């Protein structure tokens, strides 16, 4: 390594990052064009992502937003192609960088090398991302197209299974080509597909359940946890009720949040300390007729332990805890996964 090669490779790295950034900008601008918020773009070593809190509603808007990333790369490749063709020995250079012929009889200058790299890498980014595998753009486009004839469930199963198969194939290819980056990227595709498959499976299981299946009714004379209680007092209240989560009240008997037994066990060292820092001072409230899946989604979005279910006149009906929902979803696979967390 010398400084000349260090600066050359760091310029290359910067260039590759800019291609990923242009890809993500393609998604983000297309989303804005379709009236969907695109909040931020995050770049990480193996790629990037444009964060969109919601998806476009119409089918063709959705396809357009997902296709816009690869299209931005194709546009860049076409520009590099055009400029390269205008260079001396342009046709030879294009053929070389597209690997149509393996040997090059001319020596490319720096500009030609950069143009060739821009051409090859952007085509790779475009067509690599168009593979019909979740979570790649191609998989998302395919899912959007399949959703109308087959529904959310079947289309998700198809693209995630394709993601697992294509991901394993790419990992195998990367292993044989001695390309660790391809193996890691392929592993990421498999992992994301397995997670999305599981996610779909959980949503299906929950869709068949109601709030009543996980509702915990307040018991008579139930000991409430108050913000001025100590850790020891709170642990005693957990033992008395046997509940995994308890509501926390302020001095005016208004609920302010929840406290989880597992959190106290793991984090509380001093039993005489106040329980307040271990409480989550936020909770979701829901009506008794709400859809369980919708309530769970609100709990997950708010990142809290549970929801308080109240009736039309504000009277307390009971609680729904994520702990209980997890038990409802429990399978041997999930239990195994939790051991890894
Ligand atoms: Zn993309």
CA–centroid distance, residue 169 to ligand 1 (Å): 20
What pLDDT shows up at residue 341? 45
CATH topology of domain 212-328: CBS-domain (3.10.580)
What pLDDT shows up at residue 43? 75
What pLDDT shows up at residue 271? 83
The pLDDT of 255-267, averaged and rounded, is 85
Q: Is the peptide bond before 135 cis (omega within 30 degrees of 0)?
A: yes
Q: How confident is the model at residue 105 (pLDDT cuts 50, 70, 90)?
A: low
Cβ-Cβ contacts under 8 Å for 238 (sequence gap 6 or more): 246, 261, 264
pLDDT tens figures, 139-177:
999 999 998 888 888 899 999 999 999 999 999 999 999
Cβ-Cβ contacts under 8 Å for 158 (sequence gap 6 or more): 142, 143, 146, 150
Q: Terminus-to-terminus CA distance in the chain, angstroms?
A: 40
CA–centroid distance, residue 322 to ligand 1 (Å): 33
Top mean pLDDT of 169-178, 254-263, 315-324 is at 169-178
The residue assigned the tokens 């593979």 is: 131
CA–centroid distance, residue 277 to ligand 1 (Å): 41
What pLDDT shows up at residue 160? 92
CA–centroid distance, residue 129 to ligand 1 (Å): 6
**For residue 276, what is the DSSP state?**
G
What pLDDT shows up at residue 130? 94
| Residue 127 CB burial class (10 angstroms; 0-12, 13-18, ≥19) | middle
The pLDDT of 74-80, averaged and rounded, is 95
CA–centroid distance, residue 120 to ligand 1 (Å): 17
- The verdict on pTM exceeding 0.75 is no
pLDDT tens figures, 278-307:
888 888 888 888 888 888 888 877 778 888
CA–centroid distance, residue 100 to ligand 1 (Å): 26
pLDDT tops 90 at residue 80: yes
Cβ-Cβ contacts under 8 Å for 117 (sequence gap 6 or more): 12, 15, 97
Task: Specify the pairing of strand 316-321 against strand 306-310.
Answer: antiparallel
- Residues, beta carbon < 5 Å, ion ligand 1: 69, 129, 137
pLDDT tops 80 at residue 100: no
Instruction: List, in sequence order, the alpha helices (H) in 87-136.
Output: 90-97, 110-129
What pLDDT shows up at residue 79? 95
What pLDDT shows up at residue 221? 64
pLDDT tens figures, 187-227:
999 998 998 888 887 777 777 788 888 888 877 666 678 88
CA–centroid distance, residue 154 to ligand 1 (Å): 23
């Amino acid at each position: 390594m010398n400084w000349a090669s260090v600066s050359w490779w760091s310029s290359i790295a910067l260039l590759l990052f800019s291609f990923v950034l242009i890809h993500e900008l393609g998604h983000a601008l297309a989303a804005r064009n379709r009236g969907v918020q695109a909040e931020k773009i995050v770049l990480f070593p193996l790629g990037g992502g444009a964060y969109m809190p919601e998806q476009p509603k119409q089918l063709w808007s959705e396809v357009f937003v997902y296709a816009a990333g690869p299209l931005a790369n194709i546009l860049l490749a076409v520009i590099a192609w055009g400029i390269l063709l205008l260079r001396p020995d342009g046709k030879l250079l294009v053929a070389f960088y597209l690997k149509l012929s393996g040997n090059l009889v001319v020596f490319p200058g720096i500009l030609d090398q950069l143009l060739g790299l821009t051409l090859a890498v952007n085509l790779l980014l475009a067509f690599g991302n168009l593979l019909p595998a979740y979570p790649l753009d191609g998989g998302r486009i395919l899912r959007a197209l399949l959703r109308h004839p087959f529904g959310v469930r079947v289309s998700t199963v198809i693209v995630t299974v394709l993601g697992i198969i294509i991901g394993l194939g790419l990992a195998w290819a990367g292993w044989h080509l001695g390309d660790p980056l391809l193996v890691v990227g392929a592993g990421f595709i498999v992992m994301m597909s397995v997670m999305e498959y599981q996610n779909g499976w959980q949503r299906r299981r929950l869709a068949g359940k109601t709030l009543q299946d996980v509702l915990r009714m307040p018991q008579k004379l139930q000991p409430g946890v108050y913000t001025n209680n100590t850790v020891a007092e709170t642990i005693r209240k957990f033992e008395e009720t046997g509940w995994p989560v308890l509501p926390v009240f302020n001095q005016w008997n208004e609920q302010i949040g929840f406290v989880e037994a597992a959190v106290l066990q793991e984090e509380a060292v001093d039993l005489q300390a106040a329980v307040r820092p271990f409480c989550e001072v936020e909770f979701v409230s829901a009506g008794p007729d709400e859809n369980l899946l919708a309530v769970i989604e609100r709990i997950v979005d708010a990142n809290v332990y549970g929801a308080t279910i109240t009736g039309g006149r504000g009277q307390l009906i009971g609680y729904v805890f994520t702990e209980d929902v997890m038990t409802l979803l429990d399978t041997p696979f999930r239990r195994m996964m939790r051991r890894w967390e």
